[in-house]
């Protein structure tokens, strides 16, 4: 094998590894549902181990935990509580479409990006 053939083989291996890396990252990104941004309608959880509750208050049963990045559509607001319908499977395993209440201090309204 001469020097030119060695370089071509090395370039091909590098190109294949880069292509595989891009394909894997595109697949993992595509599998998670992206939160739509409609101010006042969609909220993202900013906390770790936030309880999704059966009612608007700490006295209600916890349905499970939500983590930073989990999100849902606002269905109702009662005092300092927001009722959400999950837009994707939560990181703790709650099914997409599960509804429950979270303390509003842990749920942030989406903010559209302004491009100049």
pLDDT tens-digit readout, 13-56: 555 454 444 433 333 333 456 777 777 889 999 999 999 999 99
Task: Identify whether residues 16 and 47 lie together within a single domain.
Answer: no
* Phi and psi angles of residue 49, each rounded to the nearest 5 degrees, phi first: 75, 40
Helices first, then strands: H and E counts in the chain: 1, 7
Residue range(s) defining the domain that contains residue 99:
42-109
Task: Identify whether residues 63 and 85 lie together within a single domain.
Answer: yes
Task: Work out how many domains the chain is built from and give that number.
Answer: 2
CATH at residue 89: 2.30.30.40
Does residue 115 fall inside a structural domain?
no
Question: What's residue 38's pLDDT?
Answer: 74
pLDDT tens-digit readout, 54-113: 999 999 999 999 999 999 999 999 999 999 999 999 999 999 999 999 999 999 987 766
Task: Identify whether residues 59 and 100 lie together within a single domain.
Answer: yes
What stretches of the chain show up as alpha helix (H) in DSSP? 3-31
Question: What's residue 22's pLDDT?
Answer: 40
Task: Identify whether residues 20 and 76 lie together within a single domain.
Answer: no
């Amino acid at each position: 094998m001469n020097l030119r053939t060695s370089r071509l083989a090395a370039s091909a291996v590098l190109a294949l590894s880069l292509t595989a890396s891009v394909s894997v990252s595109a697949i993992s990104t595509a599998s998670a549902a992206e939160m739509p941004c409609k101010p006042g309608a969609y909220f993202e959880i900013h906390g770790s181990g936030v309880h999704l509750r059966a009612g608007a208050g700490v006295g209600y049963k916890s349905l499970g935990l939500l983590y930073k990045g989990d999100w849902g559509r606002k269905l109702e607001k009662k005092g300092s509580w927001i009722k959400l319908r999950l837009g994707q499977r939560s990181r703790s395993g709650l099914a997409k479409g599960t509804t429950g209440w979270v303390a509003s201090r842990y749920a942030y309204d989406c903010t559209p990006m302004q491009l100049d």
